[in-house]
Amino acid sequence: MLAVDTGIVEEWLSEFKTLPEASISSYATNLKDKTALISSLYKVIQEPQSELLEPVCHQLFEFYRSGEEQLLRFTLQFLPELMWCYLAVSASRDLQSSGCIEALLLGVYNLEIVDKEGHSKVLSFTIPSLSKPSVYHEPSSIGSMALTEGALSQHGLSRVVYSGPHPQREMLTAQNRFEVLTFLLLCYNAALSYMPAVSLQSLCQICSRICVCGYPRQQVRKYKGVNCRIPVSSEFMVQMLTGIYYAFYNGEWDLARKAMDDILYRAQLELYPEPLLVANAIKASLPQGAMKSSKEGTRCIQVEITPTSSRISRNAVTSMSIRGHRWKRHEQPENGNDATELGNFIIPEISVTNVSGERTGNGEKSRTLAENDVQHIQGVQETATDPRTDSKGMPEIRRQKSVRKMMDDGINSTGRVQF
């Protein structure tokens, strides 16, 4: 670590000790903007043999228990890096150099599992009902399941998952290590929206390192330092995926994609069903291309929500549309289909005077002939096309007598009406 970084950290340590209590609030507000200090603190944490590591861990713990929200979040942003340093030192079995980091993690854990009055916390999580719409789904798109869930929701049935109470811990062992770390990562994920970009980058990097160290993929990633495998639990990997999913849409697409692939790789080796399910679900929901947006500003996930008001399609078949279609058919001119083209031939239509274009039934035809029995209907005239008058030079067509049996027309082959 450079001397400049050492000087920045030492100044920060002495500044808070002499700070009056009335100025703590303004000090905490401006602390998140000191990028040089944050970068120097990361360098101190990454060096377990540094002399400044113990006073830095003590200062961060003082921030966390001060009760000031901004100071609490300032400590939380270093939590992924602190976890990695502790796991790396534990894997190398050099527990003496990780004593201050272990004390800081235990202190944060013991503060979080109790409320302000000192009673154990019981965290509750209500699982959303599929029958109620959200930004992720519409009940109408699920089908029959929505009806079943809707019937249950009307009776006030909802599934609530409880976490806690958690026991106090005095030291970290191989049995309770990931129980404590999983709870700490849960607290970190609860404040993800307040974490800076450098903290999200640290989260993605340590997740990737934890999952591939000691495996063949470590050579592909070119990670150096720890070469032994770091054991992880299924619940801890699910919490890692929660933070990585947030990093996808907040400017860290490449690091988050690499970390998710490494977690999926480790979950397949360990045969953990929960991280496999969550990782594959995240992978299937990601857009095809990377998010090219800038790292500043808000992010959003585009979803398609059907409108609440019902709309009738323009092509819907209704009684009015059927009636209108019938009127259009009746209003068509009688000579609209004077000729039907079949190839290059034109078959003329048989025209009968004083006969409407509508088809009539047997009873109606007899009444029509009875009323017009004094009139004669002209026979069918044979038409031909003269090649001399046809501009297109079509050949002469001699129409043969129609062999079609004209039922109910009362017309014989000579075109006379039979009475």
The predicted-structure confidence for 375-418, as pLDDT tens digits, reads as follows 444 444 444 444 444 444 444 444 444 444 444 455 444 444 44
Report yes or no on 67 lying in a domain: yes
Percent with pLDDT over 90 in the chain: 33
Domain span at residue 274 reads: 195-289
Query: Are residues 103 and 148 located together in one domain of the fold?
Result: no
The DSSP symbol for 140 reads G
- Look over the chain and give the mean of its residue pLDDT values, rounded to a whole number: 74
**Mean pLDDT lowest for which of 16-20, 44-48, 135-139?**
135-139
395 falls within a domain: no
Judge whether 157 lies within some domain: yes
State both tokens at 209: 């390192």
Say which range, 61-75, 245-259, 299-313, has the weakest mean pLDDT: 299-313
Low-confidence winner among 115-119, 137-141, 230-234, 295-299 (lowest mean pLDDT) = 295-299
- Is the pLDDT at 266 greater than 50, yes or no? yes
The encoded tokens of residue 236 equal 């801890």
What pLDDT is recorded for position 137? 66
Give 37's contacts (C-beta < 8 A, 6+ positions apart).
8, 9, 12, 31
Whether residue 285 is contained in a domain is answered as yes
The pLDDT of residue 116 is above 90: no
Residue 65 predicted with pLDDT over 50: yes
Quote the DSSP letter at residue 342. E
- Looking at the structure, do residues 109 and 5 belong to the same domain, yes or no? yes
pTM value > 0.75: no
CB atoms within 10 A of CB 21: 7
pLDDT at 275: 94
pLDDT for residue 72:
93
Alpha-carbon gap, residue 4 to 40, rounded angstroms: 9
Question: CA 23 to CA 208: how far, in whole Å?
Answer: 40
Whether 160 shows a pLDDT value over 60: the answer reads yes
Residue 190 CB coordination number (10 Å): 13
In the chain, the number of structural domains is 3
Q: Is 131 in the same domain as 79?
A: no
Does residue 13 sit in the same domain as residue 102?
A: yes
For residue 115, pLDDT over 80 is answered with yes
Local confidence band at 217 (pLDDT 50, 70, 90 cut-offs): confident
In a domain, 71, yes or no: yes
Per-residue pLDDT for 353 more than 60?
no
> What's the alpha-carbon Rg for the chain, to the nearest Å?
42
Q: Which of 2-11, 129-138, 329-338 has the lowest mean pLDDT?
A: 329-338
How sure is the predictor about 140, in pLDDT bands with cuts at 50, 70 and 90? low
Q: Which residue, among 69, 62, 165, has the nearest Cα to 115 in the 3D structure? A: 165
Q: Are residues 31 and 3 in the same domain?
A: yes
Domain boundary (56, 91, 116) is at: 116
Of the pLDDT bands very low, low, confident and very high (cuts 50, 70, 90), residue 41 is very high
pLDDT of residue 345: 46
User: Do both 106 and 148 map to the same domain?
Assistant: no
* Of the residues 289, 309, 326, the one at which a domain ends: 289
Mean pLDDT of 234-255: 93
299 lies in some domain: no
The residue out of 116, 142, 176 marking a domain boundary is 116
Sign of the dihedral through C-alpha 26, 63, 85, 1:
positive
Tokens of 121: 């916390």
Q: Do 246 and 284 fall into the same domain?
A: yes
Give yes or no for a contact between 71 and 28, defined as CB atoms under 8 angstroms apart: yes
pLDDT at 75 over 50: yes
User: Confidence band (pLDDT; 50, 70, 90) for 318?
Assistant: low
Range name among 7-16, 54-63, 244-253, 342-351 with the lowest pLDDT average:
342-351
Helices 79-91/35-45 angle, 10° precision: 10
For residue range 331-347, what is the model confidence (pLDDT) as tens digits?
A: 555 544 444 444 444 44
Provide mean pLDDT across the span 214-240.
87
What is the band of 256 on the pLDDT scale with cuts at 50, 70, 90? Answer: very high
Eight-class DSSP state of 118: S
In a domain, 65, yes or no: yes
Predicted confidence (pLDDT) at residue 309 exceeds the cutoff of 50: no
Q: For position 66, what pLDDT does the model report?
A: 86
Which is it for strands 123-126 and 345-348: parallel, antiparallel or unpaired?
Answer: unpaired
pLDDT of 74 = 94
Residues 7 and 82 in one domain: yes
Q: For position 21, what pLDDT does the model report?
A: 82
57 and 12 in a common domain: yes
Dihedral of CA atoms 244, 250, 252, 258 in degrees, nearest 10, equals 30
Q: Report the sign of the C-alpha dihedral through residues 207, 213, 217, 222, in that order.
A: positive
100/199 same-domain check = no
Query: Could you tell me if 111 and 78 are in contact, meaning their C-beta atoms sit under 8 angstroms apart?
Result: no
Indicate whether 63 and 78 sit together in one domain: yes
**Cα–Cα distance measured from residue 220 to residue 247, given in angstroms and rounded to the nearest whole number:** 23
Please check whether residues 86 and 156 belong to one and the same domain.
no
Tell me which DSSP letter residue 100 carries: H
Is residue 276 situated within a structural domain? yes
